[in-house]
Amino acid sequence: MDENAIHIPVLRDRSIELLAPAISSANAVVVDGTLGMGGHAAALLDTFPDLRLIGIDRDTDALEIAGRRLAPFGERAVLVHAVYDEIGDIVAEHAPDGVQGILLDLGVSSLQLDRAERGFAYSKDAPLDMRMDSTSPLTAERVLAEYSEGQLRRIFEVYGEEKLAGRYARKIVEHRAQAPLRRSSELVAVLTEATPAALQHAGHPAKRVFQALRIEVNGELAALERALPAALDSLAVGGRIVVLAYQSLEDRLVKRELARRSTSTAPAGLPVELPEHRPEFRLLVRGAGRATAEEIAANPRATPVRLRAAERLRPVLSGRDTATRQGIS
C-alpha cells in the first residue's frame, strides 16, 4: 500500500494559504493536532523548509504511518501520542514561547474509515469497535450492551441528531435481550428493521447512529470543548489557527469559541475600549469556508467540510483579565 497515496488531505492548499503568514518566518512552529496519516503535516513541512511541526494523534496506527511518512523531515517533526485536548501541556513542553500555527482536522480519519476492522463504517461488516485509540477501554459494543435505553436515546439525539432516536434505542434494547450486538452488520439490520418504510429511502438509517456511537466512544465533543481554548491560548501573537469540521455539532462549537474570542467585551456605552476588553483574535474567513466542486469531485470526503480560521491579536489575558472576560468580579 502506498501510504502517500491513501489519503488526500481536505482543503490542504487553503489551509496552508491561511497559515502561511504566521508560519513562514524562521523558527516557526506549527501544531497538527489531528495528525492522522500526516498528509497535511507533510505538505506544511515541504512548503516551509524552516518550519518545525508537533504532530498529535490518539491513534497509534496513524502515528506509525505518519512517522514513516515524515521521517525524511528528521527532527523537524515531533510526534506525540495523545488526544488533542492535551495541546496546552504538549506546547508548553515543546514550544514554551507558544506556536505560530495550529491545524485541527476534526472527526474520523480516512485511515479509520478505510480499515474495515476498526468498525467505523456502517457499509462494511466489522466488530463494533469505533475506538480512535485502540488502548482505550470503551467500545461501541460495550455502549450498546451496557447503556440504558434512556442513555442510548440521549446519545442518538444529541450526538447523532437522530429523529428516530427513541425508536432505535428501544429496538436495540429489545434485541440485546435475545442476543448481543457484536458486529456492525447486526446493528445495521436492527436499525433498518426499526425504520418506517416511508423513511427507508431518506438516507441510510445507520448513518446518524454510527456517528453518535463514535462520538460517545471517543468523547469527541468533550475533547473538542477542552481543546479549543487550550489551542487558542497556545498561539503566540500573530499566530493562526485553522479548524476543519465535518458535522454540525463540531462546527457549532468551533464557531462559538472563535466568535467569543474575537468579540470585544467592553460594556455598552464605554467611551474608550480598555486593552483588556479588546478582542484576542480576528476571524480570517467570513462564515465557513467550503471545498470547491473540483475538490469534492477529486475527494468526496471534502463534501461536508466547514473551515474556520482566526489570528491572535494580543497576548493571553492575565488571571484578572480572564475573570473580567468571563464576567467574574
- Decide: 289 and 308 in contact? Cβ < 8 Å: yes
Please provide residue 315's backbone torsions phi and psi, each rounded to the nearest 5 degrees.
-65, 165
Q: Are 154 and 168 in contact (CB under 8 A)?
A: no
- Residue 296, C-alpha cell as written in the block: 469534492
Question: How many Å apart are CA 223 and CA 98, to the nearest integer?
Answer: 21
38 assigned ligand-binding residue: yes
The answer to whether the CB of 34 falls within 8 A of the CB of 323 is: no
Q: Identify the DSSP state of 104.
A: E
CA distance 195 to 300: 27
Which is nearest to 173 in space by CA: 204, 152, 196, 198?
Answer: 152
Sign of the CA dihedral 109, 112, 115, 121?
A: negative
How many CB atoms within 10 Å of residue 227?
Answer: 25
**Rounded CA gap, 286 and 229, in Å?**
21
Q: Is 105 annotated as a binding residue?
A: yes
Judge whether 219 is annotated as a binding position.
no
Of 115, 132, 133, nearest to 124 by C-alpha is: 115
**Could you give the CA distance from residue 65 to residue 112 in angstroms, rounded to a whole number?**
12
Residue 159 annotated as part of some ligand binding site: no
211 is in an annotated binding site: no
AA identity, residue 130 = M
Detail the residues annotated as belonging to a binding site for S-adenosyl-L-methionine: 38-40, 57, 84, 105, 112
Detail the residues annotated as belonging to a binding site: 38-40, 57, 84, 105, 112
